[in-house]
Chain A
């Protein structure tokens, strides 16, 4: 026995949610062949199939690409600061992939490391995430290699599991999820078949050991040669959270803003003196992988990667995390066999 909901009722649920003055987001086909998570103006735009993973992630909705953290006004020699509050409007993300939902729980750790980031916390509090289980995967997916899977529940308030007839089984996981679906589902004898994800693609424990043992690994130079140093991987990644803080204004005043940034940009670690500790792309790629698989794990016990594959899908030169990890392993095996050789 399970609770099920029709596609139509899901659309109605979203419309009712929006009509109450709340905001909603989910996968939308912005072009015939481009699916992205976007703000929804109505439930009809919501896409619940025909894609493996949208080209972006849901972090935009609780960790926006740009936000004001406070404003300032010059008054002669004096100054006035006004605090900024993120909107606490309840927000529904319907149709998140499990690899996206899991990220919010992972990011919670750094955004509350001693200092509590209210922008993240207030937005997270206001957000209900309904995850869409994955009926298919592609060559870029590797969620199962990082402890997740097509029906992983981490970070989700409820999960929708596809049924054969196009409807969905609903499993409510938290109070928020239960509140959302109360009275909206029907009991049914149908139950979703278990979904299998990709087979394990890389041994993460071996990667972590390699990263710990060999920081200066010469493999990085070769691996990163084709990397162009853009931010496509970081910005479409559910867990990448590096940011920049800049002032934007004029003589009357302005705002201090927080924007997405990427460790892949050459200017990321540039000192005012002109010294740059990470002046080659190899060092920058190394930082990304070290941060995701070793540093974040050491600090918070979580891997900063959910295996969604967006980095590879969006990389103009087919790099991305999985390919990098596989190259790292290949290099390790090659040099150890050379030593033994």
Chain B
């Protein structure tokens, strides 16, 4: 399978169909995998594919330094691909100017990451070509089990939980930078005329930041889990994003990045939308 992947990439570069391949590499066979950028056909042997390929590479498509490299080909797992759908809906990428190589994936992490246990996108659905195959079957549901367990706590318990968790946040913004949908050139925390969110990593500043970020991702977050993996303070940010994802599904029958034809819920309305909470 890896040979097929490398062949495809070699061909794309040799035929100048793309200028850069965004994929995964490894320094050693048992070391971690990380994003790499291949610009020459002879470098394709650096590409790897295994269960350590955690990173959601789509976050690079909106970064200036990477855009400067030219037309990209990108390797995506099913979960990463959901971000591509949203990016396209939001006009952040030109799908025609992008070659998507999907990899059929039966999960990352050993033991498997939480998101993989409830995954229903093992095979990328909109790629220009799909490499490999997987025996894993798409989960029927259970997406919000982790959240459901958490919501059994009383509001007071949950508040205590978040005060404790968010007191460890240092505002490193790793969560923002790994997220493919956090692509604003000037993030709300970087604005100072006026200052909307304190830059200080106090509990107040952290609560403001994390809650605002979750809301800015409402109806857009694709649950790729990268923010949780990236957080150096071990904060389970997924609980915030899953709450809003579940609200989007329950109230608007919408899941970000699943159906490119569905209109994104933020930025649109329908006459059937419930209004009880505003009246």
Direct contact of A and B (CB under 8 A): yes
A residues adjacent to B (C-beta < 8 A): 30-31, 33-34, 36, 38, 55-56, 65-66, 139, 221-222, 224-226, 228-232, 234-236, 244, 246, 248, 257, 259-260, 262, 265, 267, 280-282, 314, 316-319, 323
Contact present for A314 and B199 (CB under 8 Å): no
Contacts of A221 in B (CB 8 A): 65
How near does chain B come to A334, taking the closest CB pair, in angstroms?
12
Q: Do A316 and B65 form a contact, CB below 8 Å, given A66-B201, A226-B35?
A: no
Instruction: Report the Cα distance A125→B87, complex, angstroms.
Output: 52
Contacts of A262 in B (CB 8 A): 172
Contact present for B234 and A231 (CB under 8 Å): no
Q: Do A317 and B34 form a contact, CB below 8 Å, given A34-B234, A56-B232, A232-B232?
A: yes
Which interface residue of B35, B174, B201, B232 has the most chain A CB atoms within 10 A? B232
B residues adjacent to A (C-beta < 8 A): 27, 31-37, 55, 59-60, 63-66, 69, 168, 170-174, 176-178, 190, 192, 195, 198-202, 205, 226, 229-230, 232-234
Decide if the interface of chain A is mainly helix, strand, loop or mixed: mixed
Instruction: Report the Cα distance A317→B34, complex, angstroms.
Output: 5
Contact present for B233 and A56 (CB under 8 Å): yes
Contact present for B172 and A232 (CB under 8 Å): yes
Contact present for A248 and B172 (CB under 8 Å): no
Contacts of A248 in B (CB 8 A): 195, 198, 200
Contact present for A317 and B233 (CB under 8 Å): no
Contact present for B59 and A226 (CB under 8 Å): no
Contact present for A282 and B172 (CB under 8 Å): no
Contact present for A316 and B199 (CB under 8 Å): no
Partner of B173, one of A30, A33, A230, A236: A230
Which interface residue of A55, A56, A248, A318 has the most chain B CB atoms within 10 A? A318
Instruction: Report the Cα distance A284→B190, complex, angstroms.
Output: 18
Instruction: Report the Cα distance A25→B55, complex, angstroms.
Output: 33
Contact present for B233 and A226 (CB under 8 Å): no
Contact present for B178 and A228 (CB under 8 Å): yes
Contacts of B64 in A (CB 8 A): 280
Partner of B200, one of A56, A229, A230, A259: A259
Contact present for A30 and B201 (CB under 8 Å): no
Contacts of B202 in A (CB 8 A): 66
Q: Do A317 and B170 form a contact, CB below 8 Å, given A230-B176, A230-B177, A281-B65?
A: no
Closest 9 CB pairs of A and B: A34-B234, A318-B34, A228-B177, A316-B230, A231-B172, A314-B232, A230-B177, A230-B174, A232-B174
Contacts of A267 in B (CB 8 A): 190
A-B contacts, 25 listed (Cβ < 8 Å):
A30-B168, A31-B234, A36-B234, A38-B168, A65-B170, A222-B37, A225-B65, A225-B69, A226-B34, A228-B63, A228-B177, A230-B172, A232-B230, A235-B170, A246-B192, A246-B199, A248-B195, A259-B171, A260-B171, A262-B172, A265-B173, A280-B64, A316-B55, A316-B174, A317-B55
